[in-house]
A and B are shown apart, each in its own frame.
Chain A
Amino acid sequence: MVTSVRETKSDKLFLALNYMFLAVALVVVLYPLLYIVSASISSPQAVNSGEMWLFPKGITLDGYKLVFDNPKIWNGYMNTIIYTVLGTLLNLAVTLPAAYALSRSDFVGRNFFMGMFLVTMFFNGGLIPTYLLIKNLNLINTMGALILPVAASVWNIIVARTFFHSTIPKELQEAAHMDGCTNFKLFIRIVLPLSAPIIAVMALFYGVGHWNSYFPALIYLNDEVKYPLQMVLRQILVLQEMSAETTGAAISGDIAQAMNNKAEIASLVKYAVIIVSTLPVVILYPFLQRYFVQGVMIGSVKG
């Protein structure tokens, strides 16, 4: 008995250390996130001078006002929504039928198709040949350049295939076939309605991808009117282009008067713009988290 008590003691110590470790991880991840939220509604003086550490100081919504008044950000927002919606719809239209076909063991040639898709995971033409292809297809500076080259991902096809394979009962398909149901009807009427979880997972993964993407826009778009939100963000956050063009147009009389310092306007906008651009994902995230996790889990089942 004595030994078992001692064991529990060491176990307790281990558990305590474990909790401490996780608490540290929590703080390290959470603090920068909270800091941004607080900074976005604090006065820039308090943020820049270091008075604001956790809770907002000198609360002001001017940052958001500047962001919402900015036509460039609105335009980027609209573009991103369009790219995300159309892009995701195309992703689903390409991924789901292909994944379903690949999940059928009576589909002759599925190893060929799977092999062909898999190769692209490990070998690709590279940046320049891809760019030249897009150019030859006359897609430069079009919406298509942001949507078509990412119409499907091998990984997501594998995840969806695994889902169809493991959750749609084979007997159901056989029964449908016996009743004279065609593959098309079977897919639309039986398989898809049973696959809500995977459709959600796919839409989420692809949707977030479109929402966050900036690189294709950087290389394929030269017309700023077509820029997605992330490109506008890049100008503000990374290139620090706080020129009249980026922020000036948005400065209404009273704010401009309150702040004649350009650097202050810049720092005000930065935190607010981070929040505004990430907001849709942040709002949806707690509700959708389990789907995301589900997606990774399905993918991890040997595919």
Chain B
Amino acid sequence: MKGKGQQAVQPTLRPSGGIGKKIWQNWELYLFIAPAFLYFAIFHYGPMYGIQIAFKNFIPSKGIFGSDWVGFQHFERFFNSHYFWDLLWNTLSISFLELAIGFPLPIILALAFNEIRTGFFKKTVQTITYAPHFISMVVMAGMIITFLSPSTGMITRLIELFGIEAPQFLNEPAWFKTIYVISGVWQNAGWGTIIYLAALSAVDPQLHEAAIVDGASRFKRMLHINLPTIIPTITILLILNTGNILGVGYEKILLLQNSLNMEASDVISTFVYRTGLVSAQYSFSTAVGLFNSIVNAIMLITVNQIAKRTSDNSLW
């Protein structure tokens, strides 16, 4: 802001002007945000309006507004049905397994990456481990099905090399969760390291120097300097993950599901898909979906609150 007569007045005027003036001066910015605003209003808030059919007996010809209210009837039917506990158990156990195995692994991997200096080996391992992230769900499911095929699958034969008879992986409910979680780890653990590596790059080198002087080993420095630095990042990601505990990635489950493993693979979201879109029980299915969303929201808020109290890190 070099004072050059008249021109210097303008920039100082701008911020000090009233709100009306600010809006007027930046009217184009509202035009900029209009498409996004419309998009979220129509395609995200629009469906929220449709949630009311969970409390109605939705009849397409009457429309969402015109259908009759039935209260909590659909919810009661769901809670009282014999599959309720199975669905809840499958959803929760898959989520928790995924959290217990899939969450720490990228952290360990990132800490390991961080110990080696940039070079060919590091670059190669990173490039390769990131890559499966870009494989589509359909191809991923296709790989799982092909590799686990009882007669010709690569993994089946690998196990038979040791003289053990391989199970019929995808046809046995007991194996479903393991397959789901391990394939997820294979696909995403490498990619998950990026965010931790970004956080690790912020470690103050002076801390390491001081620790070396004090005779701390590499392992100890990793444990007492590197790990604590990324704790805030870990916390935030943990909150985000827990908030999605009932939102198991159903696209993959849907692809791997078959009538033989159904008992272990049916989760709330695949159930919503089946009852809603395949059997067209719109209201009932919406009620089940709403139950799912509400539990997720409660989980998110609870975990966020716990994190806030205990560690000062939170989403809001």
Contacts and interface: CB of A to CB of B under 8 A. Distances in A.
Contact of A98 (B26, B35, B190): B35
Interface string A90-127: 00011101101110101111000100110010111111
Contacts of A174: 11, 14
Contacts of B35: 93-94, 97-98, 151
Contacts of A68: none
A25 B19 CA distance: 56
Contacts of A132: 47, 50, 53, 64, 282
Contact of B297 (A123, A126, A234, A285): A123
A3 B217 CA distance: 11
A97 B112 contact: no
Interface stretch (A81-89, A241-249, A251-259, A274-282): A274-282
Nearest to A179: B7
B122 to A, nearest CB: 8
A22 B110 CA distance: 10
A35 interface: yes
A196 to B, nearest CB: 19
Interface stretch (B84-92, B93-101, B140-148): B140-148
A120 B215 CA distance: 50
B306 interface: no
A200 interface: no
A208 interface: yes
A77 to B, nearest CB: 14
B293 A22 contact: no
Interface size class of A (residues with CB under 8 A): 35 or more
A255 B198 CA distance: 52
Could you say which of A14, A25, A215 has the most chain B C-beta atoms within 10 Å of its C-beta?
A: A25
Interface string A24-56: 011011101101100000000001101000000
Bin chain B's interface residue count.
35 or more
A102 B234 CA distance: 27
B120 interface: no
Given A7-B217, A133-B46, A33 B132 contact: yes
B139 A129 contact: no
A36 B273 CA distance: 32
A130 B289 CA distance: 11
Nearest to B53: A129
Interface string B96-137: 000000000000010011011000010011011111101111
B72 interface: no
Nearest to B281: A128
Contacts of B32: 97-98, 100-101, 183, 187
B255 A238 contact: yes
Interface stretch (B36-44, B75-83, B171-179, B259-267): B36-44
Interface of B: 7, 10-11, 14-15, 19, 22-23, 25-26, 28-33, 35-37, 39-40, 42-51, 53, 64, 109, 112-113, 115-116, 121, 124-125, 127-132, 134-139, 141-143, 145-147, 151-152, 154, 157, 186, 189-190, 194-195, 198-199, 215, 217-219, 233, 243, 251, 254-255, 269, 272-273, 276-277, 282, 285-286, 289-290, 292-293, 296-297, 300
24 contacts: A3-B215, A7-B215, A25-B125, A97-B33, A98-B37, A101-B30, A108-B23, A124-B293, A128-B282, A128-B289, A130-B43, A132-B282, A133-B50, A212-B136, A213-B136, A219-B277, A233-B139, A233-B142, A236-B142, A274-B143, A281-B134, A285-B131, A297-B194, A299-B195
Given A29-B190, A94-B39, 20 more contacts: A10-B219, A35-B154, A102-B33, A109-B23, A113-B36, A120-B44, A125-B46, A125-B49, A127-B273, A128-B276, A128-B282, A129-B50, A130-B43, A132-B50, A148-B43, A212-B138, A215-B251, A289-B127, A300-B194, A301-B198
Interface of A: 3-4, 7, 10-11, 14-15, 18-19, 21-23, 25-26, 28-30, 32-33, 35-36, 47-48, 50, 93-95, 97-98, 100-102, 104, 106-109, 113, 116-117, 120, 122-133, 148-149, 151-152, 157, 174, 177-178, 182-184, 187, 208, 211-215, 219, 230, 233-234, 236-238, 240, 267, 270-271, 274, 277-278, 281-282, 285-286, 289, 292-293, 296-297, 299-301
